[in-house]
């Protein structure tokens, strides 16, 4: 709706000159009040938009975290750990730095499920994953590869560093007793280790070599690590 401007309002908008004319324009009182009100409303709206932006960023961050995290163990899921592996291979090819990976498997996990039930099996996975997370040092990363298998990516690390880590993990898990309700479950692990052949293979081949080494560790009696050279 267009507000009608009275001629008296127009005259009131001018400051009289001594020579009996109107020589300067001034704002009517209600215009200043309206301007202050609009400015305050704009400030409130801006603050609301800023809060909404913060909330949106938080939701997006949570969605990203959920899509890249394993729901049971809270470790990086298969998709994320594979991305980590591929990025590490790209970096190694570009700069010629060493890279080693370890495939880790919980020994006789099917027996735990069959004996104690899948609920206990899930709890064992959760607690073991928590222990592994504490043992893995930055910049190494560990993720759930699938089932009871985990993948450890060790950028800037040689076979020697990976075998030392594997030995430490075997000893730690061997001495671990996991309380589940009124029961206590003991576990051991096996690991297969492979060092990346810079610019001579792809990440799929590296992964296959680590898996082959894991099979060898299990074939040799489990509760140990094996390497593929």
Q: Report the catalytic residues.
A: 148
Candidates 83, 173, 24; CA nearest to 11 is: 24
Say if strands 225-228 and 189-195 run parallel, antiparallel, or are unpaired. parallel
Let me know if 16 is exposed, middle or buried by CB neighbors in 10 A (0-12, 13-18, 19+). Answer: exposed
What are the φ and ψ backbone dihedral angles of 164, each rounded to 5 degrees? -65, -40
What is the distance between the alpha carbons of residues 90 and 110, in angstroms, rounded to a whole number?
36
* C-beta separation of 68 from 161 below 8 A: no
DSSP per-residue letters across 128-195: HHHHHHHHPPTT-EEEEEETTEEEEEEET--HHHHHHHHHHHHHHHHT-EEEETTEEEE--EEEEEEE
Let me know if 159 is exposed, middle or buried by CB neighbors in 10 A (0-12, 13-18, 19+). Answer: middle
């Amino acid at each position: 709706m267009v507000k009608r401007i009275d001629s008296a309002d127009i005259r009131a908008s001018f400051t009289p000159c001594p020579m009996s004319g109107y020589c300067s324009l001034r704002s009517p009182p209600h215009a200043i009040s309206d301007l202050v009100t609009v400015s305050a409303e704009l400030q409130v709206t801006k603050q609301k938009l800023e809060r909404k932006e913060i909330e949106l960023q938080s939701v997006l961050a949570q969605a990203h975290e959920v899509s890249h995290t394993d729901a049971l163990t809270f470790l990086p899921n298969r998709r994320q750990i594979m991305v980590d592996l591929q990025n590490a291979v790209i970096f190694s090819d570009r700069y010629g730095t060493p890279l080693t990976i370890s495939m880790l498997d919980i020994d006789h996990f099917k027996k735990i499920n069959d004996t104690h039930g899948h609920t206990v099996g899930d709890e064992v996975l959760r607690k073991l994953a928590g222990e592994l997370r504490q043992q893995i040092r930055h910049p190494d990363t560990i993720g759930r590869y699938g089932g009871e298998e985990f993948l450890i990516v060790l950028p800037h690390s040689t076979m020697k560093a990976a075998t030392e880590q594997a030995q430490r993990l075997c000893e730690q898990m061997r001495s671990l007793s996991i309380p589940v309700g009124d029961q206590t479950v003991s576990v051991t692990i096996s690991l297969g280790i492979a060092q990346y052949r810079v610019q001579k293979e792809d990440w799929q081949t590296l992964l296959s070599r680590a898996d082959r080494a894991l099979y060898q560790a299990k074939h040799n009696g489990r509760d140990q690590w094996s390497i593929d050279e």
